[in-house]
Amino acid sequence: MAEAAPYFAEVTEAPPGESCVWLRASDGVRIRAAHWRAGGKGTVIMFPGRTEYIEKYGPAALDFAKRGYASAALDWRGQGIADRLMEDRAPGHVLDFADYQKDVAALLDWLRAEDLPQPWYLVGHSMGGCIGLRAIYDGIPVKAAAFSAPMWGIKMQSAMRPLAWTLGTLAPRVGMGGKMTPTTSKVTYVMEAAFEGNLLTRDRAMFELMVRQLTAHPDLAIGGPTLQWLGQALLETRALMAMDPPGLPCLTVLGINERIVHIEAIKRRMATWPGAEFDLIPDAEHELMMEVPAVRNRFFDKAVALFDANR
Distance CA 278, CA 252 (A): 5
Distance CA 57, CA 47 (A): 9
Average pLDDT value for residue range 94-101: 98
Query: Is the predicted pLDDT of residue 201 greater than 80, yes or no?
Result: yes
Quote the radius of gyration of the chain (alpha carbons, Å): 18
Distance CA 62, CA 200 (A): 20
Quick one: how far is CA 154 from the chain centroid? 14
Query: Is the predicted pLDDT of residue 158 greater than 80, yes or no?
Result: no
Whether residue 201 contacts residue 285, with contact meaning beta carbons closer than 8 Å, is answered with yes
Where would I find the H helices in 189-283? 204-216, 227-241, 263-271
Q: Which of 9-13, 65-69, 173-177 has the lowest average pLDDT?
A: 173-177
Q: Find residue 154's DSSP bridge partners.
A: 261
Query: Is the predicted pLDDT of residue 21 greater than 90, yes or no?
Result: yes
Q: Report the pLDDT value the prediction gives residue 168, as an integer from 0 to 100.
A: 84
Average pLDDT value for residue range 124-139: 98
Helix (H) or strand (E) holding 111: helix 100-114
H, E, C per residue of 134-164: HHHHCCCCCCCEEEECCCCCECCCHHHHHHH
Distance CA 230, CA 156 (A): 12
Query: Is the predicted pLDDT of residue 172 greater than 90, yes or no?
Result: no
Query: Is the predicted pLDDT of residue 1 greater than 80, yes or no?
Result: no
Q: Is 89 exposed, middle or buried (0-12, 13-18, 19+ CB in 10 A)?
A: middle
Quick: pLDDT tens for 173-188: 888 899 999 989 999 9
CATH superfamily of 3-309: Alpha/Beta hydrolase fold, catalytic domain (3.40.50.1820)
Q: Could you give the dihedral angle defined by the CA atoms of residues 150, 310, 53 and 223, in that order, rounded to the nearest 10 degrees?
A: 0
Average pLDDT value for residue range 93-115: 98
* Prediction pTM value: 0.97
Q: How confident is the model at residue 162 (pLDDT cuts 50, 70, 90)?
A: confident
Q: How far is CA 230 from CA 51, 90, 225, 234, in A?
A: 14, 15, 7, 6
- Domain definitions of the chain by residue range: 3-309
Residue 116 corresponds to which amino acid? Answer: L
Measured in Å, how far apart are the chain's first and last C-alpha atoms?
A: 30
Q: Which of 149-163, 174-188, 196-210, 253-267 has the lowest average pLDDT?
A: 149-163
Please, what is the Cα angle at 287 between 282 and 289, to 5 degrees? 95
Query: Is the predicted pLDDT of residue 306 greater than 80, yes or no?
Result: yes
Q: Report the pLDDT value the prediction gives residue 170, as an integer from 0 to 100.
A: 85
In 3D space, the residue among 96, 36, 23 whose CA is nearest the CA of residue 64 turns out to be 36
